[in-house]
Amino acid sequence: MKKLWAIVKLLILFIKELFISSYAVMLQIVRPRLQIRPGIFALKTELKSDWEITLLSCLICLTPGTLTINVSRDSRTLYIHAMDIEDANELSLQIKGTFERAIMEVTRP
Amino acid sequence: MMSTLLLLSLTILSFAIIGCMYRLLKGPSISDRIAALDTIGVLLLSMIAIICMLLKTYAYFDIILVIGILTFIGTTAFARYIERGVVIESGDDERNR
Amino acid sequence: MKAEMMSGIGEIIIGLIVLAGALISAISAFGLVRLPDVYLRSHAATKSATLGVLFILAGAFLYFAFYLDHISAKLLLGIVFVFITAPVAGHLNGRAAYISGVPLWERSVQDDWAVVLKKNKD
């Protein structure tokens, strides 16, 4: 029962982030001057199994201006292309804080 | 009233497809063309959903699914092709990665 | 009389949902034309197009559910399918572009993967 609640929470978080990120991307597109600084940063993840990493990379792909480019061979590091890197550390902390924790709540009892 | 809105949406989507066609014809690299093809597939899918609503029929729902699947498989195959040079790998691919 | 007005308002709401989806798709196609490199373009293509399709198919689902009394599992399946496949396609396309040597935009600030690739080569 607790697990079901965790899944629902993950879904709600995902839909919220989808709307926010699409709004941000569309705002960047229609702005007359491009003021973005794209780049690729590495994200060390604590998730282990393939299933969790697939879920995390799918969620990253659909949320705030980020796109998974590659997963390293030992599947510990994700390389993420971000549309606007303010501060790579801050961005990776944000992803860790929201998605990783929500996924862990689902997959780990 | 509703059919006016739907026709307007169809027009907007057609212009979106024209934009994708520009990227498809001009795109500097192959990946650009693949992304444009993917987007064209998704836009076609939504156009067919709107046509279903206009004609008040549900005969075309299968086409929505089929276009979705074909677009995905096409994108995957093209991406693998430009990444490795082959679409279907043989067994000994660990060596030449 | 009242029921007629209600159904009219419902139709207009569904029409507006579909119109919003079409506008989102058009903006994403505009981004596909305008943005400077492959990776940024696939941002526009994967995210906004997915949201646009979500809006349009949801509008179609509501229309068929309320006005033609036909709850369509195929439309829901279509939404789920687009949602699963769009990020996978974007990821594969981006990785293929990087491996086949498409350069990043010249104003990119950071590239962690290139550092690792160089280290592996040495």
A48-100: pLDDT as tens digits: 777 778 888 877 777 667 778 777 777 677 788 877 777 667 777 777 777 77
B24 at the C interface (CB within 8 A)?
no
Confidence of residue B97 (pLDDT cuts 50, 70, 90): very low
Of C8, C33, C78, the CB nearest to B68: C78
Of B69 and C118, more confident: B69
Asked if A67 lies within 8 A of C39 by C-beta distance, the reply is yes
Q: Are A59 and C46 in contact (CB under 8 A)?
A: no
Q: Which two tokens stand for residue A95?
A: 């992803």
Mean pLDDT on C49-69 = 87
Cβ-nearest to C15 among B5, B30, B72: B5
User: Stretch B55-72: mean pLDDT, rounded?
Assistant: 88
pTM: 0.84
B15 domain residue, yes or no: yes
What is the DSSP pairing of strand A66-71 with strand C110-111?
Answer: unpaired
Supply the mean pLDDT for chain A: 77
Domain containing B18: what range?
Answer: 2-84
Both tokens of residue C79?
Answer: 């939404």
Residue B17 reports pLDDT greater than 60: yes
> How many domains is chain B partitioned into structurally?
1
Q: Give residue A72's identity as a one-letter amino acid code.
A: S
Q: How close B5 comes to chain C (CA, Å)?
A: 5
| β-strand partners of A67 | A81
User: Rounded to a whole number, what is the distance in Å from the CA of B14 to chain C's nearest CA?
Assistant: 9
Rounded-to-integer distance, Cα A18 and Cα A63, Å: 5
Max mean pLDDT range (A88-102, B10-24, C74-88): B10-24
Does residue C44 sit in helix, strand or coil? Answer: helix
